[in-house]
């Protein structure tokens, strides 16, 4: 409860950034969620081989009929139901896991087929499409947030919680930041120390484009890097909820009865 909220009129949108996949479809990957795949498919459709086949951009999509493998419907794998055991996924025998029909794979752009492009990492794809600014700009935020090793066509459902969180942050960087409030609830859960630093870099990037970020967190490095800290306590659960200290980290560290402040003093 509070008496009033100031500045709410300046908030255009509120976005929760958690560790679930940005898109829950098993077909979603960085190529599709970044919209880079739209431009990539147009490049392939513009080649001489594609025009000779009468291929349109839709041929190079694994989500619609046309050029995809119909045996696996473009998934590249077949699910075997073992009834009382977990399902087993094996590469599709018809397309050998490529997702596409053989005639589509014969079409090449700069020496690579569409399946080979989807098997590039983000770092490799940025180098490969270096002359295509629209594709490079779509992929660059993922590289900036330490996801350069992820395959362009890798399903988001196979990524870890921390990786999916960074995907969400990267997508946010592509949106107008001014007036958007991002909320993260203990985003460092399960993250390695190096990943925490990457996460903080992503939050700094959001702030640099005019967004605001509210983080519920116990990780001292995150608290130390905050512009403003609100310390609730004095304990957790029913014994918490009281405003113990508020202000920049240095001011909170100076509050004797703040347990967060006591911990901050050790690292400031």
pLDDT of residue 238: 86
- Name the DSSP class of 3: S
Whole-angstrom CA distances from 21 to 169, 173, 196, 205, 216 are 12, 16, 19, 21, 20
Q: What is the DSSP string of 54-82?
A: T--GGGG-SSSTTTB-TTTTTSSEEEE--
240, part of any domain: no
The 10s digit of each residue's pLDDT in 163-217 is 898 899 899 988 888 899 999 988 988 888 888 998 899 899 999 999 999 999 9
Q: In this structure, what token pair is assigned to residue 224?
A: 């130390």
pLDDT of residue 245: 97
Determine the average pLDDT of the residues in 7-11: 89
Peptide bond into 142 cis (omega under 30): no
266, part of any domain: no
257, part of any domain: no
Q: Which of 164, 176, 172, 184 has its CA nearest to residue 141? A: 172
152, part of any domain: yes
Domains of the chain: total: 1
CA atoms lying within 13 Å on the CB side of residue 70: 4
CA–CA gap between residue 62 and residue 58 (Å, rounded): 8
| Structural domain boundaries enclosing 63 | 25-158
The 10s digit of each residue's pLDDT in 80-94 is 888 888 889 899 999
Prediction pTM value: 0.82
CATH number at residue 143: 1.20.1580.10
pLDDT at 161 over 90: no
172, part of any domain: no
The 10s digit of each residue's pLDDT in 231-268 is 999 888 888 889 999 999 999 999 999 999 999 999 99
Query: Do the Cβ atoms of 218 and 240 come closer than 8 Å?
Result: no
114, part of any domain: yes
pLDDT of residue 19: 84
59, part of any domain: yes
pLDDT at 1 over 70: no
What is the distance in angstroms between the CA of the first residue and the CA of the last residue of the chain? 32
Percent pLDDT > 90 in the chain is 71
163, part of any domain: no
């Amino acid at each position: 409860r509070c008496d009033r909220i100031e500045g709410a009129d300046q908030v255009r949108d509120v976005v929760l950034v958690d560790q679930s996949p940005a898109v829950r479809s098993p077909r979603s990957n960085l190529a599709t969620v970044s919209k880079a795949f739209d431009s990539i498919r147009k490049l392939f459709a513009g080649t001489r081989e594609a025009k000779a086949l009468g291929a349109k951009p839709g041929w190079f999509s694994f989500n619609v009929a046309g050029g995809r493998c119909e045996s696996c419907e473009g998934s590249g794998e077949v699910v075997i139901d073992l009834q009382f055991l977990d399902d087993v996924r094996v590469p599709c025998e018809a397309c050998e896991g490529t997702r596409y029909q053989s005639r589509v794979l014969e079409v090449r752009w700069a020496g690579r087929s569409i399946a080979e492009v989807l098997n590039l990492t983000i770092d490799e794809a940025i180098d490969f499409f270096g002359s295509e600014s629209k594709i490079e700009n779509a992929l660059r935020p993922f590289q900036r947030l330490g996801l350069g090793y992820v395959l362009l066509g890798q399903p988001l459902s196979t990524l870890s919680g921390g990786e999916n969180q960074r995907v969400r942050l990267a997508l946010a960087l592509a949106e107008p930041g001014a007036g958007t409030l991002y909320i993260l609830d203990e985003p460092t859960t399960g993250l390695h120390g190096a990943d925490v630093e990457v996460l903080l870099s992503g939050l700094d990037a959001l702030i640099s484009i005019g967004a605001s970020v509210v983080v519920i967190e116990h990780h001292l490095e995150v608290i130390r890097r905050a512009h403003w800290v609100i310390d609730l306590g004095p304990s957790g659960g029913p014994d918490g909820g009281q405003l113990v200290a508020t202000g920049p980290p240095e001011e909170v560290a100076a509050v004797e009865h703040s347990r967060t402040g006591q911990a901050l003093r050790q690292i400031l």
